Structure 1
Amino acid sequence: MDRLILLRHGKAERDSASGDDFDRRLDGRGAVESAAMAERLADLGLIPDLVLVSPSARTRETWAAVAPAFPNADFRVERALYHAEESTVREMAEAAGETSGTVMIVGHNPGLQDLAIRLLAEGSAPQTLVARAHGAFPPSAAAVFLFDAAGRPSYDGLFLPKD
């Protein structure tokens, strides 16, 4: 894997009709902000080869909103990404990266935010960036990292909606 894009799902409804967190859907703002973030990433040339998507309703709807910006990306729904901890997200990204140059994960906090903070620290990012990621990783936020041949991360962008 040369690049990893961590994309948090868009803003979701507070409660689902079923009462189950898994079934929470995007609200109108979530779909718009997710699509805008995808366009922003694509405009910067940050285009995934493979997208791994949590199976929840809000992450699948986020993928549906961002997919038009990445028409050539392959995608897979991965059950293990539903509320995955940072270590699971990283393991899945690294495994996918064995055959894909740029991997995107569409998932949930706190796992995505925790992984972004860890990768910033491992890549010796300035403390101001680490603090920024600690402070907020809202819905539709994206963190992007490059990886060298030894698998060491370096910061490539932190994008917040309406940034």
Structure 2
Amino acid sequence: MKSVQDFSPTGFRAAYEERRLTQAEVAQAIGVTVNTVGRWVRGKGAPSPRLFAALTEKLAVPRSQLLLPLSPDADLAVLRTRAGLRQEDVAKRLGVQASDVSELELGVGRVRGEWGAVLSALYDVSPDRLADACRVTAERWRENVNTKRQGAGS
């Protein structure tokens, strides 16, 4: 399972300290070990989308407080994990299979017209930002294909 790539250890630490919580209390509240929370604080890992959603709920903070600023080269998978969602969650909202969301994130699927508004709302980004993430995802897919072709031709 993918971790939230833009997780901010500094934002996380500030959020739980502002609430006068210990790492142990945060760990217990979301069902992980204190060592796991400690790794997140040290930047040695990040929560999964499910645990990220639990953190924002437990700490009663907006997702943005626990995230680094959105990178211009963020792809669809980054937008999804920043929203604290699994592929299955997105698929359910779109009324499709999780494999359809996986194909989108791999760059081999296309965002259907009616999906754009749903994805923008789910990911809390503008339609233009969603389009940028789709472009980045497709470019990465093309780069991977070209790299494989060049490797096969050697």
Q: Do Structure 1 and Structure 2 share a fold, with TM-score over 0.5? A: no
Larger helix percent: 2
**Which gives a bigger RCO, structure 1 or 2 (Cα 8 Å, sep 6+)?**
1
The structure with more radius of gyration: 2
TM value normalised by structure 2: 0.29
TM value normalised by structure 1: 0.28
